[in-house]
Amino acid sequence: MSKGRTILASTRFELTIQRLAQELLENYGDFNNTCIVGIQEKGVVLAKRIIELIEKENIKLKVPFGKLDITFYRDDFRTRKEPIKAASTEMDFLIEGKKIILIDDVLYTGRTIQSALAALQDFGRPDKVELLCLVDRRFNRHLPIQADYIGLTIDALDEAYVKVEWRNQTNKDRILLFAAK
């Protein structure tokens, strides 16, 4: 893959995550009857960072958190040349009647979110589901799905690729855009 162009570097990256955490605090306060669910794998990384900021702001708060694997809910599960490696689902609570904040790093076609919504149904029927994404590629949707909380909106051609790098994996927080070939 060619070298990507940095569109959001460490300082602004951190400010963006802080803003998203602050929006959730403003809207959910004590997180009563509210859970955060990260989509494996990078949605979990983002969710943990946001929860860390929320709980740092209010040290008495313990936000219920789950990790959701959508591997077997994907519509392309059986059409791939190589098998998809499943991650673990870790949700030690039912979501029946609760508000769910579903978190993923990049919203592209909407298919990942559709799969996540289907997977959530195995844990109950939530009162409400809201979506938080760090990056919204708004002109590439295949399904009518939109995020309620967005860190950054990017308009990119279908062939372009957006990559989020995390400091715990690459020593840098940044978002890269790789141009279409």
CA 172 – CA 13 distance, rounded (Å): 10
What is the DSSP-derived secondary structure letter of residue 137?
E
pTM of the model: 0.92
Q: At what angle do helices 10-28 and 42-57 cross, to 10 degrees?
A: 70
Largest Cα span, the chain: 50
- Residues 6-41 have pLDDT tens digits of 999 999 999 999 999 999 999 998 899 999 999 998
Q: Is the domain covering 30-158 a CATH 2.20.25.90 domain? A: no
Residue 118: count other Cβ atoms within 10 Å of its Cβ. 14
Residues 107-149: tens digit of each pLDDT: 999 999 999 999 999 999 999 999 999 999 988 889 999 999 9
- Location of structure tokens 């509210």: 34
Q: State the average pLDDT over residues 151-178.
A: 88
Quote the pLDDT of residue 125: 94
Report residue 94's pLDDT band, with 50, 70 and 90 as the boundaries: confident
pLDDT at 181: 63
Domain boundaries, the chain: 30-158
1, pLDDT greater than 90? no
Question: Can you spell out the DSSP letters for 9-61?
Answer: -HHHHHHHHHHHHHHHHHHHTTTTTEEEEEETTHHHHHHHHHHHHHHHHSTT-
Residue in 137, 131, 128 with CA at minimum distance from that of residue 95: 128
